[in-house]
Amino acid sequence: MERIPILRMGEFLLVTIQVDMHDQLALKLQDDLSNAIQRHAAKGVLIDISTLEMVDSFIGRMVADISGMGRILGAETVLVGMQPAVAITLVELGLSLPGVSTALNVERGMALLRRKILGVGDVTATAG
Amino acid sequence: MSQPRQGEAPLRSEHDIVLARQLVRKLTQELTFSLVDQTKMVTAASELARNALIYGRGGTMHWELVQRDAYRGLKLLFADQGPGIPDIGKAMTDGWTSGNGLGMGLSGAKRLVNEFNLDSQVGAGTRVTIVRWK
């Protein structure tokens, strides 16, 4: 069955969404990620959507759910790489993704995750 | 111009929603919409296609390249023969949903386009028409 790969990097999990996901695939990813967080006792999850050309309310909700679910399982989630056109559209659609940490790219997302987990530096909800 | 000016796509499965998004992307690119405008129209189409599938139990998306004076645009009609919407005012409210969504579909889609028209009859179905001009 079609699924989105989840890579493990130490205490972090990295997910790169590169396909135009149909709804079941998004739900499957949510399921797979919660299992992976538990199995690897992951402390952080990085979701890279830099190749996604659209985020609608369904995908937005999935991201928010993953973030909330991860927090309960002891993992911080950072969403990285959102294209400007996608960000503009999301806000106009009415989704501001409250509670979801974001960063410009994978590198900054990693730095934000480390800060959040190690509890050092400025731990704000959003890093540029 | 040998290109078709209008057409129709089925909305019978989740995969059809993906295909509808890709079709709208292609059409807005043909109309040379800006990237932001393409993304807004594709996102609105995705919301309305999902509504037609989930709440309307499937339907169709009609598309048409339209022109008004010097402006060109894309018109989309999402039609289903589902149960219809009993309270349109409520359905258009941010955060209200009769299903398990976020309740941003209809109200959100309206904000992403230039023209929005919702016509629904209980027991007969729902038709949502949107237009975005270049």
Average pLDDT taken over every residue of chain A: 90
Q: Which residue of A has its CA nearest to B108?
A: A93
Whether A23 and B25 lie within 8 Å, measured CB to CB: no
A22 vs A114: CA distance, rounded Å: 32
**Cα torsion angle, B106, B107, B108, B112, sign:** positive
Contacts of B101 in chain A (CB under 8 A): 57-58, 61
pLDDT category of residue A128 using cuts at 50, 70 and 90: very low
* Bridge partners, A45 (sequence order): A13, A77
Cβ contact, residue pair A89, B112, below 8 Å? yes
Q: Which of B21-35, B78-92, B94-108 has the lowest mean pLDDT?
A: B94-108
pLDDT in tens, A33-65: 999 999 999 999 999 999 999 999 999 999 999
Question: Which of A57, A85, A94 lies closest to B39 in CB terms?
Answer: A85
Give helix B35-54 / helix A84-93 axis angle, nearest 10°: 50
Q: Check residues B1 and B58 and name the one with the higher pLDDT.
A: B58
Residue A39 C-alpha from the chain's centroid? 18
Question: How large is the angle between the packed helices B14-30 and A23-40, nearest 10 degrees?
Answer: 110
* Single-letter code of the amino acid located at B10: P
B104 CB burial (10 A radius; 0-12, 13-18, 19+): buried
| Dist CA A95 CA A104 (whole Å) | 18
pLDDT value of residue A127: 46
ipTM of this complex prediction, to 2 decimal places: 0.89
Which range, A39-48, A97-106, B90-99, has the best average confidence (pLDDT)? A39-48
Which residue of A20, A49, A57, A61 to mutate against B (max B Cβ within 10 Å)? Answer: A57
Could you give the domains of chain A?
A: 6-118 (3.30.750.24)
| Cα separation, B23 vs B27, whole angstroms | 6
CB < 8 Å from B in window 59-118 of A:
60-61, 83-86, 88-89, 92-95
Tell me, yes or no, if A54 comes closer than 8 A to chain B by beta carbon: yes
Answer whether A77's CB lies under 8 Å from A47's CB. Answer: yes
A114: buried, middle or exposed (CB in 10 Å: 19+, 13-18, 0-12)? middle
Q: Cα–chain-centroid distance for residue B63? A: 9
Q: Is A49 on the interface with B (CB under 8 A)?
A: no
The beta-carbon neighbor of A92 closest among B94, B101, B112 is: B112
Q: Rounded CA gap, B12 and B49, in Å?
A: 10
The structural domains of chain B, ordered by start, are: 6-133 (3.30.565.10)
Neighbours of B38 (CB within 10 A): 24
* Helix intervals (H) in chain A: 23-40, 57-72, 84-93, 106-118
pLDDT, tens only, B8-56: 999 999 999 999 999 999 999 999 999 999 999 999 999 999 999 999 9
Q: In the sheet where A76-80 sits, what is the strand order?
A: A6-9, A12-16, A44-48, A76-80, A101-103
